[in-house]
Amino acid sequence: MDAGLSQEALSHEAGVSVRALADMERGRTRGPQRRTVRSLAEALGLDAAGADELEEAASLGRPRPCRSAVADRLSPAGPASATTTRAPDLLPRAPRGFHGRAAELAALTRATHGEAPVCLVVGPAGVGKTALVLHWAHRDPAGPGDGRLHADLRGFSGTGEPTAVEVLREFLAALGVPHERIPESENGAAALFRSLAADRRLLVVLDNARDSEQVRPLLPGGDRCVTVVTSRHRLPGLIVSDSARPVAVDVLAPPDGTALLAQVLGTHRVHAEPAAALRLAELCGGLPLALRVVAARLAGRPDWSLESMADELSDRTRRLSLLDLEDTGVRAALHLTLQQLPARVSGVFAHLGRHPGTHIDRYAAAALAGTDPAAAESALEHLTAAHLLTETAPGRWAMHDLVRLYARSLDAHPDTLKRVLDHYIATATGAVAAAEPGAEDCFPLPSDFLPPAAVRRFDDRSAAVAWYAAERDNLTRAVAAADAAALHDRTWRIVMTMWPLIVWRVRDGWAPLLRTALAATRADGDEHGEARVLNVLGWVLTEEDRTPEALVHLEAASTLAARAGDAFAEANALIVLAMAQASLGGLDAAADSCERAAGLARRIGDRRMERLATQHLARHQADAGHWHRALTTATHALALEQRPATTDIPHVLLLTIRGEALLGLGKQDEGITQLDLAAREAESAGYDDGALRALTALLRASADPEVQARYDAALSRLTPRT
């Protein structure tokens, strides 16, 4: 009778290891213990004669030329098969036009050393993972001495995935097992594959794996076998269960991208237009699939110039269409990747395409998708594992340009942009409160404001400063997106939430952004917002030594605020107007404007505005050389602070004025102490412009090398943005 047991089942029934069974089957074990053979006979259900025959066969310690039915029962596949005399090779042909990837090839070679290595080659769709592995495998013609197996698991294909048993049948047939001897079950086929691989040196390439579960039944059992898996997903489960060694494949650098074009089009055509070739590589984002589609289009049109193709690709609305060719291309590859993800994750991905910036965090993602940050972060991690996103820093993700274009082509909620803009308004408002405690809100919220489910909290000023630094580009792009969508009420509000950043980096070229905000307030018909924007714009222009322009805006701001009965805005405009007047030499007029501003602030009971007006009055008095008045005024302004321990911009500037006044009065030591305190508070707060002012005054009093070094450091931090 045929027991119908797999090798693993027989091992369990008889209490004999699978390895021992395999050794006995191949004749590698001579004279096994009698009790072992009797246990096997009992598990196989053999009668006495069969048991004797089994013991005799096992004692020979070598394969029998003609195997009996009893010996057949030892094989997990039933009757034994002959093996092929030539090593099987299922590898597809080597890719044509392969270029570069020296680092990745070296990493792949390192990862495939050792005992039974499993190497995991991962990267986004179209990046060339399969080409890399096949090129690497074909570089060594000899390869593993006992054969090379390959299976496309089609984890990201629209044609359906092969079952594990289908792949195993192909492997077993390649290894010489007759079709009728291949087990029907997945477990039986996997056990036989592991058994046959145990003594062989095989290369097994498992291409396009969807997940770890799809791979595990296909892993060979031999210590000398090398397995290489490619996937668009990171497959962390395979790293945990099988110590898989990941090798990341990223996009090509521009020089390698142009070299790939040259492989298809010929070096003469590419070298004739080097700038256009480089531009094409950049427009394709270094993605080999996109570059090959471009090359194919150009190859079919020999009369086209590379420059004309680059001009066509520059149109973002057509780029993805141009990068598709028949049933292949970037869009098709990304579509298949997205199909493998849960609906909740692909839904978040569609909304991410509406993000106006280059980097996203979980709060912005939650606002876009209309969900909470925890759910958004989970989706971001799934998308990262699928190589649709890259985590560029802890908690910050970015998209490849072509992936972003694809995401923007998907359906999203019509309020998606408005939601993310309101997220930035809400978050920046919180950052203002943390960076400048006690500051008045710049504006009421829009009437149709969409509050996010959760808003980032800032524990202190340094956290707010760090957020502004990280999000500056996103905020600027959000303004552009709001302006393009004619969301005027959001456009100017986002600009005004950036005022602490404008104050800290006043010479960073803010005027164009503020002019956009000004146009938005007028389109929105909001005179309150217009007065606020005019005031900030006038101040920036004054700091840029464009005082005549500044005066026009500041006078308009003062008039608008007075007409609206907005004493706060009027006082603010008068303070900035005083700065412009002082820059033209009118220090008395500047002092008068500051005193008027302080009076307005006292009338409405705004001590913060009164302190600000008094600070500027002290500045103008110091500039006029009225040291006693400047010292008295600065001391009075410091006394107006509601929280004396608070370090903010006016506090730093007041300390600086006091230090200058003390020096002017001949009190050298006190003045130096006060200026050093001002500089150190500015440095610790990240207020480089304030630190530079205090250190400049300090250097006039003392040529201390340490002070000079601090001055140089502050200047270097400011210089890249000036």
pLDDT tens per residue, range 487-504: 999 999 999 999 888 988
- Same-domain check for residues 213 and 263: no
Query: Is 30 among the domain residues?
Result: yes
Query: Is 85 among the domain residues?
Result: no
Query: Is 621 among the domain residues?
Result: no
- The pLDDT score that the predictor gives to residue 645 is 53
Q: Are 221 and 197 in contact (CB under 8 A)?
A: yes
Q: Are 251 and 287 in contact (CB under 8 A)?
A: yes
Distance, in Å, from the CA atom of 141 to the CA atom of 712, rounded to the nearest integer, reads 60
User: Strand ranges (DSSP E) for 249-393?
Assistant: 324-325, 328-329, 359-360, 390-393
The dihedrals phi and psi of 648, each to the nearest 5 degrees, come to -135, 180
Interval 652-692: pLDDT, tens: 999 999 999 999 999 999 999 999 999 998 888 888 888 99
Residue 344 neighbours by CB distance under 10 Å: 13
Q: In sequence order, what are the beta bridge partners of 206?
A: 151, 229
- Same-domain check for residues 124 and 244: yes
Q: In sequence order, what are the beta bridge partners of 207?
A: 152
More confident site: 35 or 413? 413
Residue 667 neighbours by CB distance under 10 Å: 16
Query: Is 439 among the domain residues?
Result: no
Helix, coil or strand: residue 293 = helix
- Same-domain check for residues 214 and 286: no
- Same-domain check for residues 134 and 19: no
Structure tokens at 497: 């939430």
Distance, in Å, from the CA atom of 498 to the CA atom of 476, rounded to the nearest integer, reads 9
Kindly indicate the confidence band of residue 6, based on its pLDDT and cuts at 50, 70 and 90: low
Kindly indicate the confidence band of residue 317, based on its pLDDT and cuts at 50, 70 and 90: confident
Contacts of 433 (CB under 8 A, 6+ apart): 439, 458
Indicate if the pLDDT at residue 54 is higher than 80.
no
Distance, in Å, from the CA atom of 82 to the CA atom of 256, rounded to the nearest integer, reads 48
Kindly state the helix (H) or strand (E) to which residue 118 belongs, with its residue range.
strand 118-122
Side by side, the strands of the sheet bearing 148-152 are: 148-152, 203-207, 226-231, 118-122, 245-248
**Residue showing tokens 């500056």:** 472
- Same-domain check for residues 50 and 120: no
SS3 labels along 177-229: CCHHHCCCCHHHHHHHHHHHHCCCCCEEEEECCCCHHHHHHHCCCCCCCEEEE
Contacts of 681 (CB under 8 A, 6+ apart): 647, 651, 652, 655
- Same-domain check for residues 24 and 162: no
Kindly indicate the confidence band of residue 141, based on its pLDDT and cuts at 50, 70 and 90: low
The dihedrals phi and psi of 148, each to the nearest 5 degrees, come to -130, 120
- The pLDDT score that the predictor gives to residue 73 is 39
More confident site: 642 or 246? 246
Q: Are 111 and 242 in contact (CB under 8 A)?
A: no
Indicate if the pLDDT at residue 32 is higher than 90.
no
- Same-domain check for residues 107 and 216: yes
Kindly state the helix (H) or strand (E) to which residue 599 belongs, with its residue range.
helix 587-604
- Same-domain check for residues 182 and 198: yes
Domain count, the chain: 5
- The pLDDT score that the predictor gives to residue 684 is 86
Query: Is 550 among the domain residues?
Result: no
Q: Are 389 and 432 in contact (CB under 8 A)?
A: no
Mean pLDDT lowest for which of 34-43, 170-179, 287-296, 586-595?
34-43
Q: In sequence order, what are the beta bridge partners of 226?
A: 203
Kindly indicate the confidence band of residue 45, based on its pLDDT and cuts at 50, 70 and 90: low
Distance, in Å, from the CA atom of 393 to the CA atom of 305, rounded to the nearest integer, reads 40
Taken in order 511, 696, 685, 397, the sign of the CA dihedral is positive
- Same-domain check for residues 179 and 216: yes
Interval 55-78: pLDDT, tens: 655 554 433 333 333 334 334 444
Does this model's pTM top 0.95? My answer is no
Buried b (16+ CB within 10 A) or exposed e, 20-42: bbbbbbeeebeebeeebbebbbe
Kindly indicate the confidence band of residue 82, based on its pLDDT and cuts at 50, 70 and 90: very low
- Same-domain check for residues 17 and 123: no
Distance, in Å, from the CA atom of 397 to the CA atom of 700, rounded to the nearest integer, reads 47
Out of 222, 248, 274, a domain closes at 248
Mean pLDDT of 627-646: 81
Nearest 5°: the CA angle 494, 495, 498 is: 95
Distance, in Å, from the CA atom of 73 to the CA atom of 40, rounded to the nearest integer, reads 10
Nearest 5°: the CA angle 619, 465, 707 is: 55
Structure tokens at 281: 């590589």
Q: Which amino acid is at 65?
A: P
Indicate if the pLDDT at residue 423 is higher than 90.
yes
DSSP class of residue 3 equals -
Q: What is the CATH number of the domain that holds 386?
A: 1.10.10.10
Kindly indicate the confidence band of residue 11, based on its pLDDT and cuts at 50, 70 and 90: low
SS3 content of the chain, % helix, strand, coil (to 5): 60, 5, 35
Out of 225, 248, 271, a domain closes at 248
Mean pLDDT lowest for which of 65-74, 176-185, 328-337, 408-417?
65-74
Nearest partner of 359 among 450, 484, 475, 464, judged by Cα: 475
Q: What is the CATH number of the domain that holds 129?
A: 3.40.50.300
Query: Is 534 among the domain residues?
Result: no
Contacts of 695 (CB under 8 A, 6+ apart): 675, 679, 707, 710, 711, 714
Distance, in Å, from the CA atom of 467 to the CA atom of 415, rounded to the nearest integer, reads 25
- Same-domain check for residues 325 and 363: no
Distance, in Å, from the CA atom of 3 to the CA atom of 13, rounded to the nearest integer, reads 11
Structure tokens at 616: 């500027």
Distance, in Å, from the CA atom of 194 to the CA atom of 86, rounded to the nearest integer, reads 19
Mean pLDDT of 254-279: 90
Kindly state the helix (H) or strand (E) to which residue 121 belongs, with its residue range.
strand 118-122
More confident site: 74 or 98? 98
Kindly indicate the confidence band of residue 15, based on its pLDDT and cuts at 50, 70 and 90: low
Q: Which amino acid is at 659?
A: G
Distance, in Å, from the CA atom of 576 to the CA atom of 555, rounded to the nearest integer, reads 10
Range of the domain at 12: 7-61
Distance, in Å, from the CA atom of 677 to the CA atom of 660, rounded to the nearest integer, reads 12
Distance, in Å, from the CA atom of 284 to the CA atom of 126, rounded to the nearest integer, reads 11
Q: Which amino acid is at 556?
A: A
Contacts of 66 (CB under 8 A, 6+ apart): none
- The pLDDT score that the predictor gives to residue 427 is 95
Mean pLDDT of 699-703: 86
Kindly indicate the confidence band of residue 335, based on its pLDDT and cuts at 50, 70 and 90: confident
Nearest partner of 242 among 261, 219, 224, judged by Cα: 219
Q: What is the CATH number of the domain that holds 669?
A: 1.25.40
DSSP class of residue 94 equals P
Out of 366, 395, 413, a domain closes at 413
Indicate if the pLDDT at residue 18 is higher than 80.
no
Query: Is 571 among the domain residues?
Result: no
Query: Is 554 among the domain residues?
Result: no
User: β-strands 390-393, 359-360: how paired?
Assistant: unpaired
Distance, in Å, from the CA atom of 480 to the CA atom of 415, rounded to the nearest integer, reads 17
- The pLDDT score that the predictor gives to residue 471 is 93
Mean residue pLDDT across the chain: 85
Contacts of 540 (CB under 8 A, 6+ apart): 502, 506, 510, 511, 514
- Same-domain check for residues 205 and 269: no
